[in-house]
A and B are shown apart, each in its own frame.
Chain A
Amino acid sequence: MSSAGSVRGTLAPSYFCRDCNRSVTPIPATQLSCPLCHGGLLEDTTIPVPNPNPHAQLFDFIFRFLQDLDLSNLNPERSHDPLLQFVRDHINGSIAGSGSVEISVLIDGVRIGNEPGTHRALPAAQSAVDALPEIVVSESLVSVGGHEAWCSVCRDEVRAGAIATQMPCGHVYHRDCILPWLALRNSCPVCRRELPATGAVGDGNVGQQIAELDGVIG
């Protein structure tokens, strides 16, 4: 476990990646990009930011600290998680209230090998996808004009008599078009009305945690 180098790195960050929500040192290149996500949304943090995330450096430190630990033995039940308890006990003074939610998500991010910030995309629950009806597209549906006359994913026409998948909001898509999207997100592409998400059942309140995290960071 060597963290000295990485900790030293965090003390003199020169850029803040808005995708990863943390300080980074970009790879020297002609074009600035984040070494983690290769995104270009970098802020020069040597210049004072009007509305910075005050926890960014602390998260960065904790994230690196957690990365160095073997997390495989930790109890997945968060309330009994000794590491989380330790973190809560020791830094509650510097992060008030909802801080522990952010740290939970951070720990999850390390545990499943992802960077924080990638948790926003929740796939639709398989049961909800399986329950989507296949309909025969009627003349009246096509003639309503607007969204229903064509599949918004492939932008091909949906003709009367064709088979299509209908979302609870009424928007229809080719089955092969909507399934790949629902494997990534649980929302209707056109109106964003949501289906139940994977993890919404039987995995605590991940959605709520992310909403809270958004509130804190955003």
Chain B
Amino acid sequence: MLDVSRVQKELADCNKDKAISGVSIDLHGGDGDLSHLAGTISGPVGTPYEGGTFRIDVRLPSGYPFEPPKMQFVTKVWHPNISSQNGAICLDILKDQWSPALTLKTALLSLQALLSAPEPDDPQDAVVAQQYLRDYPMFVATARYWTETFAKRASVGIEEKVQKLVEMGFPEALVRSTLDSVNGDENMALEKLCSG
């Protein structure tokens, strides 16, 4: 059984100093489901991710905190240890090195640290890792371009877009996840909502 009391404490703890830490976590939808959360991390200063806000989909298995949280980048990111296709993350503490003494906050901070210190020798995305090792300036330029394109646009005016789509009659949680999946493009989200 998911330890609800611990998760609630973690949410409060994590958001207490989010302006300083650069990481935050909230419920994913408005239905109070504590097993599906939405994390954000701000791109570390001095990296190609600087200025970007990266959204992380967080799912807590029923065995949490004895099992690691499942985390995946929703915002597209160009990084050797994160899949450029589906946002899957290669990080030991989210796998076999998890410990219940770790928290959602420390896991998000670890992701932030991963953005600062890529490990191309243990890649998740082979193409990105190859570029990192063979043409570092091009890697930096690409990562920066992806940050500008995906990690900034999505967060601009997202609340207005959510409100507009909710007023059309779509449920808020669905609106948010759909907007996420199309990186904040309102028209594409509407198209997807109508076809789904």
Tell me the A residues contacting B by CB distance below 8 Å: 18-19, 31-32, 39-44, 47-51, 120-121, 147, 152-156, 177, 180-181, 184-185, 187, 189-190, 192
Residues of A with C-beta under 8 A to B123: 43, 49-51
Q: Mark B71-93, 1 if CB is under 8 A from A, else 0.
A: 01000000000010111111000
Of B90, B101, B127, chain A has the most CB atoms within 10 Å of the CB of B101
Asked if B99 contacts A189 (CB within 8 A), the reply is yes
Asked if B100 contacts A153 (CB within 8 A), the reply is yes
Asked if B9 contacts A181 (CB within 8 A), the reply is no
Residues B1-60 near A (CB distance < 8 A): 3, 5-6, 9-10, 13
In this complex, how many residues of chain B approach chain A with their Cβ under 8 Å: the count is 33
CA of A44 to CA of B89, assembled, Å: 14
Residues of A with C-beta under 8 A to B100: 152-153, 177, 181, 189
- Give the Cβ gap from B77 to chain A, nearest Cβ, in Å: 14
Partner of A31 from the list B66, B86, B126 (CB cut-off 8 Å) is B86
Asked if A43 contacts B9 (CB within 8 A), the reply is no
Given A19-B95, A50-B133, A154-B6: A181 touches B66 (CB 8 Å cut-off): yes
- Please tell me if B184 contacts chain A, counting CB pairs below 8 Å: no
Asked if A155 contacts B126 (CB within 8 A), the reply is no
Known: A155-B13, A181-B100. 6 other contacts (CB 8 A): A32-B88, A41-B88, A44-B85, A49-B126, A153-B65, A189-B99
Q: Which residue of A lies closest to B132 (CB)?
A: A50
Partner of A50 from the list B9, B90, B126 (CB cut-off 8 Å) is B126
By Cβ-Cβ distance, the 7 closest A-B pairs, closest first, are A40-B88, A189-B101, A152-B101, A189-B99, A49-B126, A120-B96, A190-B101
